[in-house]
Amino acid sequence: MLLVILYALFVSSASLRPLEKRVDFQHGVRSSTLNDRPIVGILSQPGEPAPKSMSYIAASYIKWVEAAGARVIPILYDMTEEEVRHIFSIINAVLIPGGGANLTPGHQFYDTARLLIDLAIDANDNGDYFPVHGTCLGMETLCIVISQNYSILGSFDAEDAAAPLLYTDAADESHFFRSLPPDVVRELQNSPIAMENHGKGLSMAAFRDSSKLSAFFDVLSLSIDKSGNPYVSTLESHKYPVTATQWHPEKNAFEWTNSVHIPHSPEGIRMTQEVANFFVSEARRNLHKANSVSEEDDLLIYNWIPHFTGKHDASGHAEETDFEQAYYFEKTNHGTWRRSQL
């Protein structure tokens, strides 16, 4: 009889004990509640493949966060400050994608990216846990915004140059790499599964020379370009939940152009998934939300339909585009912004 009672107690306590939540992050507020309906805001930009007067987000970024259990709200680079602030109050993280947008003040992409980064830093300073990740151009944007130096980037020979990550000592202690499964961290080091595709980049010297940048970020890895020059490939803030990769974690699983060499090995695909899991787990720590379901509905990416931008020309002569699919945004033609926000 006693054994039965003890067994019952054991079973009930075991089944009632909640799964341990990850609250080991050293900076930011420890939130005991996690958000199981995270929404990531992704910034659009003008330029190819978007038609003139429109902006785009490559669908790979959207699939990347969706595959890890988040939904997406696009943040149009040409929104008003009021619109951006409103969306910020609803989303749980910001992703600044790669691309070729102009990174100088007065250009709306830069100004909107800067507003989002400032809002995120303010939110974190005020006890809100708000993550930001920048990929490629997104990392370059973070470097310029944080350093306040528009010429901090140098030129690198790293177009179509998947590369291994050379970890610094800071990588061992980093939130980012400690959160990834060890086999993924090892694979990123041992084989070139990190897709690099950039002509600009951050040198270690430029990083060290900028007291603002080095007060904000730790360098977690370097990579080597095709001419043998090292550049910073991974950054993490030691004060804020802000990470940046010069490499593209989203491409391995979702981009298939043959014009560049994206590593599609099982290890590459697993890396795509695990880095997404990391970023979305960060977003789960934020509790922003919309005031109503219909407000959320009006903003979610489901209001748009992706275009098959990577479709091959039958003649085989057309240039391949970088993206398999892309979403296009025409601000003025999309009445829901007006209807629901202003």
Ligand X SMILES: *[C@@H]1O[C@H](CO)[C@@H](O)[C@H](O)[C@H]1NC(C)=O
Give me the least distance between CB of 209 and ligand X, in Å please: 5
Please state the length of the chain: 342
Taking residues 126 to 165 in sequence order and writing x for each that binds ligand X by CB under 6 A, - otherwise, the string is: -----------------------x-xx-------------
Nearer to ligand X, 212 or 226 (CB): 212
Burial class (CB in 10 A: 0-12, 13-18, 19+), 55: buried
Rounded Cα distance between 222 and 204, Å, is 8
Closest CA to 192 of 149, 160, 152: 160
**Rounded to the nearest whole angstrom, what is the least distance from the CB of residue 196 to ligand X in the complex?**
20
DSSP classification of residue 20: P
312 as an active site residue: the answer is: no
ω before 74 within 30° of 0 (cis)?
no
Nearer to ligand X, 33 or 151 (CB): 151
Q: Indicate the residue among 95 and 142 with the shorter CB distance to ligand X.
A: 142
Residue nearest to ligand X (CB): 206
Asked whether 233 and 247 are in contact (CB, 8 A), the reply is yes
**Considering beta carbons, is residue 235 or 280 the nearer one to ligand X?**
235
Catalytic, out of 86, 133, 248, 288: 248
Catalytic residue status for 136: yes
Question: What whole-number distance in Å separates Cα of residue 309 and Cα of residue 311?
Answer: 6
The residue count for binding ligand X (CB under 6 A) is 5
Query: Are 212 and 159 a contacting pair, CB within 8 Å?
Result: no
Q: Does 208 bind ligand X (CB under 6 A)?
A: no
239 by DSSP, 3-state: which? coil
Question: Hey, what are 171's tokens?
Answer: 């990588």
CB of 201 to ligand X, least distance (A): 12
Among 54, 145, 163, 206, binds ligand X (CB under 6 A): 206
Q: Give the three-class secondary structure for 104.
A: coil
Of the candidates 133, 136, 143, 175, the residue annotated as catalytic is 136
Q: Is 286 helix (H, G, I), strand (E, B) or coil?
A: coil
Closest distance to ligand X from the beta carbon of 29 (Å)? 33
* Residue placing its CB nearer to ligand X in the complex, 56 or 216: 216
Task: Report the interface residues with ligand X, using CB under 6 A.
Answer: 149, 151-152, 206, 209
Cite the active site residues.
Answer: 136, 248
